[in-house]
Amino acid sequence: MSHGAAGGASEGDVNTSPLRAAWDARHGTETRALLARDADVFLHQSLSTPCLDAIVGAEGAHLLTADGRRILDFHGNSVHQLGHGHPAVVAALRAQMERLPFCPRRFTCAEAVAFAEKLVELAGPPFGKVLLVPSGAAAIGVALKLARIATGRHKTLSMWDAFHGANLDAISVGGEALFRKDVGPLLPGTEHVPPPGLARRFFGDDDKAADRLADYIDYVLEVQGDVAALVAEPVRWTTVEPPPPGFWAKVRASCSRHGALLVFDEIPSALGRCGSFYVFEQMGCVPDMVALGKGLGGGIVPQAALVVRDGLDVAPHLALGHYTHEKSPLGSAAGLAAIRVIEEEGLIARARALGEAGSAALEAMAARRPEIAAVRRMGAFFGVELRAWGGLAAEARADRAMYGALERGLSFKVGGGKVLTLCPPLTISDGDFAEALDILDAALGAAEAG
């Protein structure tokens, strides 16, 4: 696979596609006017501005556009495990706004304490401490600070192609060229290795490639001798690439042996999405820190957290985060409500069931569509990798498929230039889920026909 820093493709679908102009021409007059105002007032940047469409409503699995179209949302910026506007989260936020809308720093509130206690409870031993922050990138920044203080070292080891946020410290450990290019010097001591998904390219095209990558990581940790933390996504989110069994257990042992902390970035992938509350539960190892975000605020409030093991509460004399909304009553109420919904509605089991049904349907699709190179999944999170076929490059086919799906009422993300990533709400109905896969099939057919 060629993507990210290794191949030059983007972390997601960019907004400079030749098909964008044709898509924009389909909008009604009011939508075009709003999109023009948006483009006039906001800084332009790849992946977001200028925008695809204008949204006036969002409920459950659907987005409602200003032109009156309903779109099944299999993108959702990975915040919508509960769908959009879940009634339990909305009710919790309304009640919280009436009771206590803000908690100044240096004070606490019952909601924040209960929220942190719940995150620790779900993580289990050896986790015992939490710091609440307003964004996933901030959680990564706190993890980097804490790793430096706890180890007395400043170096990190992370992976090319990984995304850990768009802040300067986060892109320093991240590996996406789209975020690192042309911004000047980054943090010193940020070493990188290939991700497990590219192990075969660099370490032999066989089933032992990931083991050799793990051995290489062990070598880097040993020869450097002063790495504070290995920061990684347990599952490569943008291209849906789970590592082979045993990989992270082997890396965990190397980190322990060489005195490096293991930090898992579960910002888009936790909260039941992958078939367990925390992804590390399926990885055969326990990290030292876990960064959470995205859906942690119930898909409504920006809320993130860093959950760490006991023994890492080592900086009472310093400010690790010190964010204005550190102990947000609203964020905490939303987070507690989201966790209750996940537990009471059985959404972890639902993610597994959706995963099995979706995998079967996509594998059947792949069997009759030679342009599909691979189908991957982790829980209810799917990646459909395309290949060059019939004279059409994989990236061009993915672009056609994305716009064809949007036209038919389905939104998803393109990762690595050629992987269609399907991220449905865990609350989606069976009928809507089946409809989305039918739309994908039709969009692939239209892409083939041109």
pLDDT higher than threshold 70 for residue 420: yes
* Residue 59: strand, helix, or coil: strand
Tell me the CA distances in angstroms from 286 to 257, 282, 293, 448, one per residue in order: 14, 10, 19, 44
Name which of 79, 64, 65 is nearest 26 in CA terms: 65
**How confident is the prediction for the chain on average, in pLDDT?**
95
Measured in degrees and rounded to the nearest 5, phi and psi for residue 373 equal -85, -35
Name all domains of the chain by residue range, CATH numbers in brackets.
Answer: 4-73+346-449 (3.90.1150.10), 87-344 (3.40.640.10)
Copy the structure tokens of residue 104: 């100044």
pLDDT higher than threshold 90 for residue 3: no
pLDDT higher than threshold 70 for residue 438: yes
Q: Facing residues of 289 across strands?
A: 263, 308
Residues 6+ away with beta carbon under 8 Å from 100: 109, 111, 329
Copy the structure tokens of residue 129: 């401490």
Measured between alpha carbons, how far is 279 from 284 in angstroms, rounded to an integer?
10
Residues 6+ away with beta carbon under 8 Å from 58: 64, 73, 84, 85
Return the pLDDT at 49.
85
Residue 2 pLDDT level (bands cut at 50, 70, 90)? very low
CA quadruple 264, 267, 273, 277: dihedral, nearest 10: 60
Name which of 297, 280, 362 is nearest 333 in CA terms: 297
Q: Which residue is it, tokens 């009640």?
A: 95
Return the pLDDT at 16.
78
Return the pLDDT at 11.
61
Listed in order, strand segments (DSSP E) in 134-281 are: 155-159, 190-193, 227-232, 261-265
Q: Which residue is it, tokens 């009156």?
A: 68
Copy the structure tokens of residue 349: 């089991």
The model's pLDDT over 266-319, given as tens digits with 9 standing for 90+, comes to 999 999 999 999 999 999 999 999 999 999 999 999 999 999 999 999 999 999
pLDDT higher than threshold 60 for residue 6: no
Measured between alpha carbons, how far is 37 from 50 in angstroms, rounded to an integer?
10
Contact 149, 315 (CB under 8 A): yes
Tell me the CA distances in angstroms from 151 to 148, 156, 392, 431, one per residue in order: 5, 11, 51, 51
Measured between alpha carbons, how far is 407 from 405 in angstroms, rounded to an integer?
5
Helices (H), 229-291: 247-258
Name which of 351, 385, 345 is nearest 274 in CA terms: 351
The model's pLDDT over 387-407, given as tens digits with 9 standing for 90+, comes to 999 999 999 999 999 999 999
Residue 10 pLDDT level (bands cut at 50, 70, 90)? low
Residue 9 pLDDT level (bands cut at 50, 70, 90)? low
pTM of the entire structure? 0.95
